[in-house]
A and B are shown apart, each in its own frame.
Chain A
């Protein structure tokens, strides 16, 4: 189970504190599927990183009683100077998995072929995503933290990811940050919506999507009004 209590995140922006969210509390069961929704820059990725232990919250705590993946889509877990193979070996040691078996499973899923022998700094974002996905599937986690990475790569790769994650691992927990509303509707049951320094839990994914769409429309309306005002002023 994942238990998050009183999570807040602030960071300085132009010398003033900017709050992404405050006092956010929620639980996630071992088979729970939680969506994170919000416009760009509102804090979805930061929340995923906090859950994954990559970024510290300003306040609050995260308690895991199940294993969790690193935030998929976040490249910070890899060493750019090392080859794909060496990165796999490195993570195999950290997670105490047999390296040869890991390499085989990653290669089978990611289909990177000879590129596994290249340093990661030469990988495209899509190749890094394939490697990250392959590793997370080879290691096997109880909960997967996914940050938009599903949308990386071609349609075939996306299908493969979806099948591996949500088909083969249907009973695992997922936290998914995405703008793909139909994907979230299909895969998640609840959602946290983050907007303008607030984060709210919605226990109905359809309601969360309605709320998010309203936020997006309001935002477009505000941008349109500002643009019109600026044009008139000019």
Chain B
């Protein structure tokens, strides 16, 4: 398992997997391995931590097996009801760093969601966590 390491002197915030929520486990925490089998749904979501307004970049780290790579997965970043969505590259297994940039007009409980866009027969995803970086003020 690859564990992300914060770069020396980086201003990024690290939200680890355990910070996120999921309906895939009994304790509602994001499990180490998510089985994508089932209907279209959010595989993990949250953590509803408030960020100050500004232009933010999320770098979401996850791993997908070959079966999950053939599913339509997307990462969404934002505050209800406004999200920015980036799809995972189709058919590419392994580790991905998905970069999603989003402008928060006002402070609010932020979510990063991993969205399975269609029902899936088989596949596994390891959601590792996300780096967040504030790039500038809302007006910039």
Binding site for B on A (CB under 8 A): 193, 195-196, 198, 200, 207, 210-215, 217-218
Contacts and interface: CB of A to CB of B under 8 A. Distances in A.
Contacts of B70: 218
A195 B122 contact: yes
The 4 closest A-B pairs by CB, nearest first: A210-B119, A211-B119, A214-B119, A214-B118
Contact of B119 (A195, A198, A207): A207
A113 to B, nearest CB: 46
Contacts of A211: 37-39, 119-121
Contacts, number: 32
A217 B71 CA distance: 11
Contact of A200 (B39, B71, B118, B121): B121
A68 B122 CA distance: 31
A212 B120 CA distance: 8
Interface of B: 37-40, 70-71, 118-122
Contacts of B121: 193, 195, 198, 200, 211-212, 214-215
Contacts of A213: 119
B39 A210 contact: yes
A198 B120 contact: no
B39 A207 contact: yes
A215 B115 CA distance: 18
Given A210-B40, A211-B119, A215-B121, 19 more contacts: A193-B121, A195-B122, A196-B122, A198-B122, A200-B37, A200-B121, A200-B122, A207-B38, A207-B39, A210-B39, A210-B118, A211-B37, A211-B121, A213-B119, A214-B71, A214-B118, A214-B120, A214-B121, A217-B118
Nearest to A196: B122
Contacts of B38: 207, 211
A74 B66 CA distance: 36
A215 B70 CA distance: 10
A207 B70 CA distance: 19
A200 B120 CA distance: 11
6 contacts: A198-B122, A210-B40, A211-B39, A212-B121, A214-B119, A217-B118
Contacts of A218: 70
Contacts of B118: 210, 214, 217
